[in-house]
């Protein structure tokens, strides 16, 4: 039974598949082309100093408009014959994303890039002239400036805009602070309220880190009070998680489940942490790669260098590993033997190739994620998974047992969410009486 009546907001890529099914045919490699993302890192600079930021080596570098134009020209001239990596066949639609640092520090540049892309795509009668979307995720600090409002007003029907709010004030301000340590919540939430008050959809994502996991319940309920009904949330993949964090996470999500059920909100809210598929084994023939950083995306940094993901660039890697470049705006994309080798290796990465037997045959593998850039940073190769998040995924699996079996019982369904997490793992996070309750709830 697909218990949820509430369906999460349709992603732009999924909308493209629905509107243009004839464009999404199976390719020789067995994949179905969707809409790839091309990211402009317009600056490494940021006006905040978030404690969990993976870009720990930011500088003041800024992209020039000349560099941006060359990247746009490369995109719009790409064909399967001259650019097999990204073109309108492998990507029937395209998402143009802007990131920093804080992207709106270069709002004028972003406006000029968006304007240039639209004008050139129309002039060339390019398929992406009608099948593109812009995406910007901001911290909201510069939201009210004339330059930012100019972008949002002109492109509001083409843009996916989000302001990062980590939930309630305590959670948000525990990590998302200015360089002097002062908080940013009030500014961000004021901007978010204004955008939604105008009738616009606003996305957000709660980032859960060891320093703020104790605020998860308050954060989620607060997001509902702000008017959000689709809440994306995930734990960071970096080091630092312990069984105590997992225990806190489980009880925070259990408390949130009770809040939803007791207030009849379980069908009007979608929260990414609760999915019926999470916490179960994956079949051996499911060899899909969770992270798109292995050859399914493309970005350009302020200096004009191409890479598959911002996590492979110097602002993220620092001195831990050399940047994984795929060319530059002057020389071209994937022109050398070394760059071709890098792409071939990225394309060859599968769930099996990068996973130990423990990961691949994990009884709760479904729903577990990873970052290929972090794998590269820590292991020297994106083809070897980092597993710092294991205990938090176990906690999430336990919380889904509680959520879904409460849901089924409340709605009179005979379905039950199957318990696949081993008892040994569960008892490292929750006590025996809690484990017994979950098994009874599941009908075991």
The predicted-structure confidence for 201-210, as pLDDT tens digits, reads as follows: 887 788 899 9
Same-domain check for residues 309 and 428:
no
pLDDT at position 24 is 66
Same-domain check for residues 312 and 375:
no
Helices (H), 138-203: 146-154, 169-175, 185-197
Which of 312, 328, 348 lies at the terminal end of a domain, its last residue?
A: 348
Which of 348, 363, 389 lies at the terminal end of a domain, its last residue?
A: 348
Burial degree of 221 (CB within 10 A; 0-12, 13-18, 19+): middle
Burial degree of 10 (CB within 10 A; 0-12, 13-18, 19+): exposed
In a domain, 18, yes or no: yes
The predicted-structure confidence for 67-97, as pLDDT tens digits, reads as follows: 999 999 999 999 999 999 999 988 899 999 9
Average pLDDT over every residue of 278-298: 88
Can you tell me whether residue 35 is helix, strand or coil? strand
> Which residue did the predictor score with more confidence, 17 or 302?
302
pLDDT at 292 over 50: yes
Which segment of 31-40, 69-78, 383-392, 406-415 scores lowest on mean pLDDT? 31-40
pLDDT at 6 over 80: no
Cα→Cα distances 89→33, 121, 338, Å = 8, 16, 25
Residue with tokens 């492109």: 155
CATH number of the domain that 151 lies in? 3.20.20
Average pLDDT over every residue of 301-312: 95
Instruction: Say if residues 171 and 219 touch (Cβ distance below 8 Å).
Output: yes
Band of residue 29 on the pLDDT scale cut at 50, 70, 90: low
Same-domain check for residues 377 and 257:
yes
The predicted-structure confidence for 339-376, as pLDDT tens digits, reads as follows: 999 999 998 999 999 999 999 999 999 999 999 999 99
Same-domain check for residues 57 and 153:
yes
DSSP characters over 115-156: HHHHHHHHHTT-GGGTSEEEEEEE-STTTTSHHHHHHHHHST
In a domain, 140, yes or no: yes
Pairing label, strands 159-163, 332-333: unpaired
Band of residue 421 on the pLDDT scale cut at 50, 70, 90: very high
In a domain, 193, yes or no: no
pLDDT at position 296 is 83
pLDDT at 58 over 60: yes
pLDDT at position 33 is 62
Can you tell me whether residue 339 is helix, strand or coil? helix
The predicted-structure confidence for 139-185, as pLDDT tens digits, reads as follows: 999 999 999 999 999 998 899 999 988 888 988 998 899 999 999 99
pLDDT at 312 over 50: yes
Instruction: Say if residues 141 and 175 touch (Cβ distance below 8 Å).
Output: no
Percent of the chain's residues with pLDDT above 90 = 75
pLDDT at 28 over 80: no
The whole-angstrom distance between residue 397's C-alpha and the CA centroid of its chain comes to 20
Average pLDDT over every residue of 22-36: 66
Residue ranges making up the domain that contains 115: 1-163+295-348
Same-domain check for residues 156 and 241:
no
Average pLDDT over every residue of 42-63: 92
In a domain, 213, yes or no: no
pLDDT at position 102 is 96
In a domain, 206, yes or no: no
pLDDT at 1 over 50: no
Two tokens at 206?
């709660």
pLDDT at position 290 is 81
pLDDT at 20 over 80: no
Same-domain check for residues 6 and 111:
yes
pLDDT at position 3 is 46
Same-domain check for residues 97 and 149:
yes
Band of residue 57 on the pLDDT scale cut at 50, 70, 90: confident
Same-domain check for residues 100 and 140:
yes
pLDDT at position 2 is 47
In a domain, 114, yes or no: yes
Same-domain check for residues 123 and 21:
yes
pLDDT at position 23 is 73
pLDDT at 5 over 60: no
Band of residue 21 on the pLDDT scale cut at 50, 70, 90: confident
The predicted-structure confidence for 234-245, as pLDDT tens digits, reads as follows: 999 999 999 999
Write down the mean pLDDT value for the chain: 91
pLDDT at position 106 is 98
Same-domain check for residues 344 and 368:
no
Specify which residues 95 forms β-bridges with: 37, 133
Band of residue 25 on the pLDDT scale cut at 50, 70, 90: low
In a domain, 180, yes or no: no
Dist CA 164 CA 239 (whole Å): 22
Residue with tokens 């176990």: 394
pLDDT at 298 over 80: yes
In a domain, 302, yes or no: yes
Same-domain check for residues 98 and 61:
yes
Pairing label, strands 230-235, 297-300: unpaired
Number of domains present in the structure of the chain: 2
Same-domain check for residues 249 and 378:
yes
């Amino acid at each position: 039974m697909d218990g949820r009546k509430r369906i999460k907001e349709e992603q732009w890529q999924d909308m493209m598949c629905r509107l243009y099914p004839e464009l999404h045919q199976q390719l020789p490699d067995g994949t179905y082309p969707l809409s790839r993302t091309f990211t402009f890192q317009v600056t490494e600079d940021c006006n905040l100093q978030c404690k969990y930021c993976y870009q720990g080596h930011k500088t003041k570098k800024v992209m020039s408009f000349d560099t941006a134009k060359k990247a746009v020209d490369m995109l719009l001239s790409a064909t399967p014959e001259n650019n097999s990596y990204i073109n309108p066949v492998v990507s029937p639609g395209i998402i143009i994303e802007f990131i920093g640092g804080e992207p709106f520090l270069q709002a004028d540049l972003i406006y000029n890039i968006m304007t240039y892309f639209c004008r050139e795509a129309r002039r060339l009668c390019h398929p992406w002239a009608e099948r593109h979307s812009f995406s910007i995720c901001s911290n909201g600090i510069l939201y009210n400036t004339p330059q930012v409002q100019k972008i949002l007003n002109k492109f509001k029907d083409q843009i996916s805009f989000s302001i990062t709010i980590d939930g309630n004030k305590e959670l948000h301000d525990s990590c998302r602070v200015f360089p002097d340590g002062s908080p940013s919540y009030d500014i961000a939430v004021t901007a978010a309220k204004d955008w939604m008050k105008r009738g616009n959809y606003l996305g957000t994502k709660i980032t859960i880190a060891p320093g703020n996991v104790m605020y998860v319940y308050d954060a989620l309920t607060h997001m509902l009070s702000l008017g959000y009904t689709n809440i994306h949330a995930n734990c960071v993949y970096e080091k630092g998680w312990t069984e105590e964090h997992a225990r806190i996470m489980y009880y925070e999500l259990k408390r949130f489940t009770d809040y939803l059920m007791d207030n009849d909100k379980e069908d009007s809210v979608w929260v990414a942490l609760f999915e019926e598929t999470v916490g179960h084994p994956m079949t051996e023939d499911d060899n899909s790669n969770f992270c798109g950083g292995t050859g399914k995306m493309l970005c350009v940094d302020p200096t004009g260098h191409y890479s598959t993901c911002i996590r492979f660039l110097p602002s993220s890697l620092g001195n831990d590993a050399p940047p994984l470049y795929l060319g530059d705006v002057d020389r071209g994309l994937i022109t050398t033997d070394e760059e071709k080798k890098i792409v071939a290796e990225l394309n060859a990465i599968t769930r099996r190739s990068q996973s130990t037997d423990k990961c691949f045959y994990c009884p709760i593998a479904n729903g577990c994620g990873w970052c290929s850039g972090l794998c590269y940073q820590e292991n020297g190769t994106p083809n070897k998974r980092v597993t710092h998040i294991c205990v938090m995924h176990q906690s999430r699996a336990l919380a889904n047992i509680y959520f879904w079996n409460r849901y089924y019982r409340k709605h009179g369904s005979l379905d039950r969410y199957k318990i696949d997490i081993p008892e040994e793992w569960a008892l490292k996070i929750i006590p025996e009486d809690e484990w017994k309750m979950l098994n009874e709830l599941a009908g075991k």
